[in-house]
């Protein structure tokens, strides 16, 4: 089996190594800008999430919030994943 390098991100001075691809979280964001709340041609926000580990092997979820135009979505690879919005410990 081939090892895949999913990359790493920095957040609040700490390095997190991604262990899988980022995927849409399907979490509803706490403000009225989710895809089902906007009309065609309007901007909406969505969250992407990926599993990660720190240097000690602790597990985390790395989260990004992106914006897109409903009906004019681009490929998920086109977004900038360098700076996450938050990193949460996995329990």
* pLDDT tens-digit map of 9-59: 999 999 999 999 999 998 999 988 999 999 999 999 999 999 999 999 999
Which class for 5: exposed (0-12), middle (13-18), buried (19 or more C-beta within 10 A)?
exposed
Number of domains in the chain: 1
**Residue 39 located in a structural domain:** yes
Under the banding of pLDDT at 50, 70 and 90, the label for residue 4 is confident
**Residue 77 located in a structural domain:** yes
**Residue 1 located in a structural domain:** no
Question: Can you give the residue range of the structural domain that contains 30?
Answer: 8-89
**Residue 79 located in a structural domain:** yes
**Residue 2 located in a structural domain:** no
**Residue 72 located in a structural domain:** yes
Which range is least confidently modeled, 29-33, 59-63, 70-74, 83-87?
A: 29-33
pLDDT at 1 over 60: no
pLDDT at position 56 is 97
- Cα 26 to Cα 13, 15, 45, 48, 74: the distances in Å are 28, 25, 11, 8, 17
């Amino acid at each position: 089996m081939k090892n895949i390098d999913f990359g790493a991100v920095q957040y609040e001075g700490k390095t997190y190594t991604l262990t899988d691809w980022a995927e849409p979280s399907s979490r509803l964001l706490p403000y009225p800008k989710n895809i089902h709340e906007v009309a065609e041609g309007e901007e909406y926000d969505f969250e992407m999430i990926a599993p990660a580990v720190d240097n000690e092997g602790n597990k985390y979820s790395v989260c990004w919030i992106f914006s897109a135009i409903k009906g004019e979505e681009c490929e998920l690879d086109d977004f900038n994943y360098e700076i996450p919005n938050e990193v949460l410990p996995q329990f």
